[in-house]
Structure 1
């Protein structure tokens, strides 16, 4: 049956951006699919609940091929021929299959595992800098959570250190825009920068991932086109730092709010692997999936989603569904959180999940070893949240130790 009303999320709860989970749970109790008005204005369809979300993430009628749809401006302030978007996350099979195959050839578990010593070195340096002035206070986001994954992914791809601060600004505006104009400007700036970086790597290749992607050729002679190199570089850079930064920030917020769990983890570093999985499940860095386009009328959970509609799958709600996780509102680092959807599901499952986990484990363990008395330095209600419904996290996280 069609959705008969449009639910205004901010009317349901003025506190929705800070804590959307009660709103999602109340909507899920009524139906697994709702037409809603988002905090930033557009009307979309939300998919809720673990089972329905998993089904939606693998439904071929819900497309990511916005560039070929003629509807790109429905979701983003960019042009269809923008090379920033020529990547696998904006495509369906068979294009997605081809692009992922080419990238996976170089983005291997062996390459990721080999990064562990360097991730530890960067972590140790950042913690040394954070604690050096004796103030015993810092903004954990600016001093640690963001620069760690930014440094790692930029080193992995061979981005010069001097360019990284500009890149962070572009990334923030692309994923959580302050305005359509700022988003468009960020796409334009990054779109002008990446071809120059790629040209430099062509002229003087190194042992970085971008150099490898430029020269990789599969058995049939296929390789990434110039536009696809720009798009893939964009995807890896943006996704490679934004989600991990908020994994660290959200994970520490969860520990601060649950001092029994913080004491437990401080007392036994062997729990860090499970703690990271529970952080991802409990309050992960990606609230909803990237937008899907309904290619035809789609009935999901008994609700008709009309062709041409924008659809978001609420990963955050799926991972708080009691049908999948017992006592889902409880943060428990000893829980078996496997099966969560924080990295998505299906063919668009996050390619960088293993890197994010590696960085998260090293970051959380090292931070608690270096600053065992770390705690929040402001009330949670005073924190400024990242806008939008894609990325979940805070702009700053004041801490003391």
Structure 2
């Protein structure tokens, strides 16, 4: 029998949510694994926080991702007009489509984004890492986000895609505006940011079509499956997905993990003493405080029951990966970081057909980054252990805005 209490109760995402979403999830969990939640834009959405329910939801074809349909639902609930076409254009990538369109797009991307191409990046990632750590070594105190966690993945994704590194400030500013939670005053930045991003990426695609190079975006331009190729619109949205997802997630996999480690010095020392444990520790960082809070939105194509709660058709649904990865019903001592454990089954990269295509690259970059950082700066510590830090106001991205550390 479906639970009606969850359908009647409405939680809220307030300003304090972003500093510690886990505290909210713990409170919500006492009342079940599925909740109605009012977001800062005043639209009520459903949020799945239980691990078992999240895993089901991520793979259930009744929960769909077509961005045009989702946009219509959002604006019907707001009583407003549909989004700027540029926003929809940017989000019309494989992460926001359903089969058979998703199957087609993923197949074309897989032809260009191969395991061999990712593995070949190791020497260059090691070189970039060493250079950044050399620069850090010249100072007593640095912001780890600015000096290491951010420039490493940004440099890698720029070189991989063939995006000029000199343009990083522009596309990161546009990205930040687009992933920030919509609320009073926030929407004003989105049309300008989306228009600028579309124009930038369209020019970049045209350049690759005219003069292809040895980079992933050129390979996507040339990708062919029995005569099927990505359209210009699809190339722009795919470039947006790979550019944003390709750096934002790894930036915060590094930042969140280092922050968690340095707040537990005994675990930092243990990992310094046994750097062979880095790959397993990375999986624990992904589980404990991963770079994605809630997976991108879905909608119910028909009524669906999760965790005993019925969600009607035509509703917006978020799967809170961060909450699922701290569900005590799945992970013992879920709120405790344990780098010497063997975490398995976390959902930080999603599950099902939308599992993150860039997961191997994120893991490779994180392995190189952590191994080098531990070896080079075993005495690294927080500049102010009492400071809780400032976090992005995003339900998608879980990441610090700064991480001041003492190098010496």
Determine whether 1:146 maps to 2:147: no
Give, in angstroms, the shift of residue 338 of structure 1. 1.9
SS class of match (1:34): strand
- What's the counterpart of residue 231 of structure 2? 225
Deviation readout 1:177-217 (Å, 9 max, x if unpaired): 57112122111101001111111112221110111110111
- What's the counterpart of residue 348 of structure 2? 342
- What's the counterpart of residue 186 of structure 1? 193
Determine whether 1:47 maps to 2:53: no
Separation of aligned partners in 2, 1:322 and 1:382: 24
CA distance 1:226–1:9, change in 2 (3 Å): closer
Q: What does residue range 198-209 of structure 1 map to in structure 2 within 5 Å?
A: 198-209=205-216
- What's the counterpart of residue 270 of structure 1? 276
- What's the counterpart of residue 8 of structure 2? 4
Separation of aligned partners in 1, 2:292 and 2:166: 28
Separation of aligned partners in 2, 1:55 and 1:78: 32
CA distance 1:380–1:150, change in 2 (3 Å): farther
Moved more, 56-65 or 41-50: 41-50
Is the 2:68–2:88 Cα contact (8 Å) retained in structure 1? Answer: no
Give, in angstroms, the shift of residue 29 of structure 1. 2.7
Give, in angstroms, the shift of residue 33 of structure 1. 0.8
Is the 2:142–2:404 Cα contact (8 Å) retained in structure 1? Answer: yes
- What's the counterpart of residue 39 of structure 2? 38
Q: Name stretches of at least 5 consecutive residues in structure 2 with no aligned partner.
A: none
Moved more, 380-389 or 202-211: 380-389
Separation of aligned partners in 2, 1:101 and 1:299: 31
Q: Name stretches of at least 5 consecutive residues in structure 1 with no aligned partner.
A: none
Separation of aligned partners in 1, 2:88 and 2:71: 13
Deviation readout 1:71-90 (Å, 9 max, x if unpaired): 16549954278432231011
Deviation readout 1:132-181 (Å, 9 max, x if unpaired): 3x3x1011111111111111011000011221221111111111257112
CA distance 1:282–1:70, change in 2 (3 Å): closer
Deviation readout 1:26-81 (Å, 9 max, x if unpaired): 32232111111235643211101110000011111211102245516549954278
Determine whether 1:174 maps to 2:178: yes
- Residue 402 of structure 2: which of 389, 396, 399 is its match? 396
Is the 2:67–2:88 Cα contact (8 Å) retained in structure 1? Answer: no
CA distance 1:250–1:230, change in 2 (3 Å): same
Deviation readout 1:227-251 (Å, 9 max, x if unpaired): 1011100000000000100000000
Q: What does residue range 41-80 of structure 1 map to in structure 2 within 5 Å?
A: 41-68=42-69, 71=72, 73-74=74-75, 77-79=83-85
Is the 2:43–2:74 Cα contact (8 Å) retained in structure 1? Answer: no
- What's the counterpart of residue 321 of structure 1? 327
Separation of aligned partners in 2, 1:241 and 1:82: 21
- Residue 195 of structure 1: which of 202, 217, 234 is its match? 202
Separation of aligned partners in 1, 2:118 and 2:360: 7
Separation of aligned partners in 1, 2:71 and 2:259: 41
Moved more, 173-182 or 237-246: 173-182
TM-score (norm 2): 0.92
Is the 2:37–2:47 Cα contact (8 Å) retained in structure 1? Answer: yes
SS class of match (1:30): coil
Is the 1:273–1:361 Cα contact (8 Å) retained in structure 2? Answer: yes
- What's the counterpart of residue 157 of structure 1? 161
Q: What does residue range 93-108 of structure 1 map to in structure 2 within 5 Å?
A: 93-108=99-114
Q: How many residue pairs align between the two structures?
A: 395
SS class of match (2:68): coil
